[in-house]
Chain A
Amino acid sequence: MSRPPLIVVFVAVMVIALGELGGAVLSQLRPAAARWVAARVVANPAAHGLSGSAEYDEEVRDRTVFAVEAGLSFFHTHAEGTGLVLFFTSTLVASVVHGVRARTALYLLLTAGALFPLGYLTYALAVLQLGRDAGVELAERWVLTPLGVAAIVGILGLAAALVRRPTPEEG
């Protein structure tokens, strides 16, 4: 099997490494992170719609802590997956797609797709900064959707290239 360009391999390894690192940080610093998030919510009452009612505010705080932890947890699981997806799909591109332009386009799409988990980091930070709804909206619209679409289009493009072109062995 042919090897994809070094920069693509670098991104794949970095995404897997960041996924591992994210998991380790999440498991070791969970209580400290939860405390920090709760403090940030209290420091930013307007964005989170805090009302001054202890019961309601506590619910908002818990919901935000949960959303931030979910974002970090999704980052960990998705980064491990998309790094591997980039490694295997870019190897297929290097091995079976012959046109330079098509190969470059697929590398770009698949590499962008591998960065999809960064959307969950954005999600965690945006929820904290802008409040739950606005944060989710921002992460979905500007990061998760474009990078997710890039991954899907890249994989579909690779599938189309596999269907259209014979592999070197098939001549």
Chain B
Amino acid sequence: MTPPISETWRLPPRAVLLAALLLLVTAEVGGASMARFKLELARWARGEMQRHPAVHGLVGVRDVDERALDEALFRFETGLRLFHMHAEGMALVIIATTTIAATLTGGASRRALVVLLAVGGVGYPLGYLLWSALIPGLGVERGKTIAEWTFWIPFGCATIVALLWLAALIAARVIRR
């Protein structure tokens, strides 16, 4: 028999809420820093790129190199912007979905779902930060591959699997009612 479910929301563990809030703060600080230190960040990234000419296909011809540097710099800034946006969004997703999991599921499923949703949600946006950090030294594509395999794929999959699992558990509850 299915145990009755609470008619009010149950909060997820405090550590999960804290992780979501820290992610939210990091996102806000990241957004603010992007605006405040835009020039400094661009100057640093440009300097690093010029120290790795082969990675960025720099040939010593100003017209060609400028285009390559602008393109890599655009991706560097895109990575930072996507970190800011995803971190804000995922922090709220963590709060909402772990609250749902804490209320509507039980036992081992609840623990696994809360862990997957929290870890996946916090880890995924950090991939964008890593991508940006890697672009100047390793290039756009190599940086993207590393970020994909170390952050986006594992943490993104954790979140997607947990969300689909949670949706299936809720659907089962709806059908049983």
- Interface residues of chain A, those whose CB is within 8 Å of chain B, are 1-3, 6-7, 9-10, 12-14, 16-17, 20-21, 23-24, 27, 80-81, 83-84, 87-88, 91
Which chain A residues lie closer than 8 Å to B89 at the CB level?
80-81, 84
> Which chain A residue shows the least CB distance to B93?
A16
B96–A12 contact, CB under 8 A? Answer: yes
B4-48 interface mask toward A, CB cutoff 8 Å, 1 = contact, 0 = none? 011111000000000000000000000000000000000000000
Say yes or no: is B79 at the interface (Cβ < 8 Å to chain A).
Answer: no
Could you tell me the distance in whole angstroms from the C-beta of A89 to the nearest C-beta in chain B?
Answer: 12
Asked if B115 is at the interface (CB within 8 A of a chain A CB), the reply is no
Count contacts on B: residues with CB < 8 A to the other chain: 27
A87–B156 CB distance below 8 A: no
On whether the beta carbons of B92 and A21 are closer than 8 Å, the reply is no
| A24 CB, nearest partner CB in chain B, Å | 6
In the assembled complex, the Cα of A80 lies from the Cα of B157 at a distance in Å of 16
Decide yes or no whether B108 CB sits under 8 A from chain A: no
Q: In the complex the two chains form, is B167's CB within 8 Å of A1's CB? A: no
Instruction: Please name 6 pairs of A and B residues whose Cβ atoms are closer than 8 Å in the assembled complex, sorted by A.
Output: A3-B5, A9-B100, A10-B170, A17-B167, A21-B164, A91-B9
Give the complex CA separation of A1 and B9 in angstroms. 6
Q: How long is the Cα–Cα vector from A24 to B164 in the complex, in angstroms?
A: 14
Contact flag A20-B163 (CB < 8 Å), given A6-B177, A10-B174, A87-B100: yes
Whether, in the assembled complex, B159 has its beta carbon less than 8 Å from a beta carbon of chain A, the answer is yes
Q: Which residues from B are CB-within-8-Å of A3?
A: 5-9, 103
For A9, give its contact among B156, B164, B170 (CB under 8 Å).
B170
The smallest C-beta distance from A93 to any residue of chain B, in angstroms, reads 13
Inter-chain contact A20/B156, CB cutoff 8 Å: yes
Q: Evaluate contact between B93 and A80: CB separation under 8 angstroms.
A: yes
Known contacts A1-B8, A6-B170, A88-B96; decide if A13 and B177 are in contact (CB<8 Å).
no
Question: Whose C-beta in chain A lies nearest to the C-beta of B152?
Answer: A27
A22 to chain B, nearest CB (A): 10
Would you call B138 an interface residue if the criterion is a C-beta within 8 Å of the partner chain's C-beta atoms? no
Q: Tell me whether B167 and A10 are in contact (CB under 8 A).
A: yes
Output the nearest chain A residue to B176 by Cβ-Cβ distance.
Answer: A6
A2 partner residues in chain B, CB cutoff 8 A: 7-9
A13 near B8: Cβ-Cβ < 8 Å? no
Does B160 touch A at the CB level, under 8 Å? yes
The answer to whether B160 touches A9 (Cβ under 8 A) is no
Q: Given the complex of chains A and B, what is the CA–CA distance between A149 and B15 in angstroms?
A: 38
Residue B73 lies at the interface, judged by CB distance under 8 Å to chain A: no
- Chain B, residues 84-123, CB within 8 Å of chain A (1/0): the string is 0000010011001100100110000000000000000000
In the complex, the answer to whether A13 meets B152 with C-beta atoms within 8 Å is no
A86 closest partner in B (C-beta): B96
Q: Judge whether A20 and B6 touch: CB under 8 Å.
A: no
A3 to B92, CA, bound (A): 17
Contact flags B156-175 to A (C-beta < 8 A → 1, else 0): 11011001101100110110
- Could you tell me the distance between the alpha carbons of A84 and B91 in the complex, rounded to whole angstroms? 11
| CB pair A21 B167 closer than 8 Å | no
Chain A's closest residue to B166 (CB) is A13
Across-interface contacts of B7 in A (CB, < 8 A): 2-3
